[in-house]
Structure 1
């Protein structure tokens, strides 16, 4: 069995490298402009050595069927150091790079952008800096978002599992298997998430309490904000979508710490109140 697994991983690795070739070509030779204005923007963050590879993600977004402004948020040390040539080429085509006003960890990918957009009626789609997104990525997010402008829209979501009225450990949650919106659905940012303007307004009104309660788990904080503000999470498709990962970017420290070592569970215990858990129980009873 392990031989088959290794073979499958090798095939996936080389298939991803094949996908990266046109993105590398575009980065060197494309003159296609990235819009600088729009009613929805794509927001992300990156850091350290990952800046030398973030252009693969950015080029995959820039080639999309639907174009939107793209804003890369950096902490001050990364903003002030010399950027790779691959990143500078994207800036010359319209990529906007902003300096975060604090060290917000994984929250950097949305927090500055949400504050800029609050009260404007604009939407924000967040992405991770280590994925290759398909050309239809934004197009389909927006299509579903137009159908449900009261919901958070995600390509990948977990279902929060309860037992005896309590939240089970994160590792025991199941993959969402429906495109029906639910408060029990927990959007994971890796495949991309679209946030409606009313949700953005609510998150900004809560301030930066996430720094104390959930500093390393932005998904946890954003879900509890969705729960409290009446924004269910809707998966684009009935099954989660997983996009290709840029090789060598998955150091995995945050994933391992949050998932396998219980970091998410610790932050969930701090964030979710008894009232929040009661709302989840009510949602579970309605849907069973």
Structure 2
């Protein structure tokens, strides 16, 4: 099996239950090469910063299979941008994961099989990016809309349930964290998809529409605090404007 990392970050309100998440990842067959946990001591957005690790999490960190990497707090971008600093443009694979989701046996194997079948970015779940009358429709219109049967550019993998990438999938511009935080500070999934769609990198979902369970319901999340009440619509509008001005390309005007 090719080497594949699992990369995630965590916010302070969830650090106490992160060991359950990490244990579910380590139990996968095949197992990932490494689990990289990107944490910050300083606060940002919903994260007040993480100092000492809880004992059950510290017991899993061995510096080999499970590693804690201290990074600047860029919010959700910590799960992928530090990894890209080392692996951008390479064939090494990475799955981005969430800090409050339990990953069932077979999760990683199915993501890898999806990637092997056609080389597409592969999420467990995804939404279609719906275009109506020459514009990207409101985010709420994406829910319930039918996904394409195969990989496509207008497919948004959902980061919560896990997304498998290779280092070759990412254009270098995706690493511009200053622009990312200005345009999409809480919507890393959208930032990544816009860049990859412009580069012609399709995406697909392999989880048959089944969202994965959270460790605990409720509590703070970027979705509930920022994105559910129309925040993603503002991000989409900003992305379309930025990509039109910078690249002469938009999601609505490009191929599907």
- Give the TM interval when normalised to the shorter protein: 0.7 to 0.9
TM superposition shift of 1:205: 5.9
CA contact (8 A) 1:178 1:235 kept: no
Q: Deviations for 1:154-181, whole angstroms, at most 9, x for unmatched residues?
A: 1111111222111111011134445411
TM superposition shift of 1:72: 0.3
**Distance (Å, rounded) in 2 between the aligned partners of 1:204 and 1:277:** 16
Alignment partner of 1:104 is 2:69:
no
**Distance (Å, rounded) in 2 between the aligned partners of 1:122 and 1:80:** 29
How large is the RMSD of aligned CA atoms in angstroms?
2.1
Out of 215, 236, 261, the position equivalent to 2:229 is 261
**Distance (Å, rounded) in 2 between the aligned partners of 1:48 and 1:191:** 20
Number of equivalences: 240
Q: Which has the higher helix share?
A: 1
Q: How does 1:1-288 map to 2 (within 5 A)?
A: 39-68=3-32, 69-77=34-42, 81-92=51-62, 94-100=65-71, 102-149=72-119, 151-175=120-144, 176-200=146-170, 202-203=171-172, 206-208=175-177, 209-237=179-207, 239-248=208-217, 250-272=218-240, 273-274=243-244, 275-280=249-254, 282-283=255-256
In structure 2, relative to structure 1, the CA distance for the partners of 1:94 and 1:216 (3 Å cut) is same
TM superposition shift of 1:185: 0.9
**Distance (Å, rounded) in 2 between the aligned partners of 1:132 and 1:173:** 25
Q: Secondary structure at the match of 1:43?
A: strand
CA contact (8 A) 1:70 1:96 kept: yes
- Gap runs ≥5 in structure 1: 1-37, 284-288
TM superposition shift of 1:103: 2.0
**Distance (Å, rounded) in 1 between the aligned partners of 2:253 and 2:115:** 24
**Distance (Å, rounded) in 2 between the aligned partners of 1:196 and 1:241:** 24
Q: Secondary structure at the match of 1:81?
A: coil
In structure 2, relative to structure 1, the CA distance for the partners of 1:64 and 1:204 (3 Å cut) is farther
Please report the TM-score for the alignment, with normalisation by the length of structure 1. 0.77
* Greater radius of gyration (CA): 1
**Distance (Å, rounded) in 1 between the aligned partners of 2:13 and 2:176:** 30
Which 10-residue stretch deviates more, 166-175 or 48-57?
A: 166-175
Q: Secondary structure at the match of 2:80?
A: helix
CA contact (8 A) 1:161 1:167 kept: yes
TM superposition shift of 1:75: 1.2
TM superposition shift of 1:258: 4.1
In structure 2, relative to structure 1, the CA distance for the partners of 1:118 and 1:268 (3 Å cut) is same
Q: Deviations for 1:61-116, whole angstroms, at most 9, x for unmatched residues?
A: 1111111110000013487621100111101373100011x221111111111212
Please report the TM-score for the alignment, with normalisation by the length of structure 2. 0.86
CA contact (8 A) 2:11 2:49 kept: no
CA contact (8 A) 2:197 2:251 kept: no
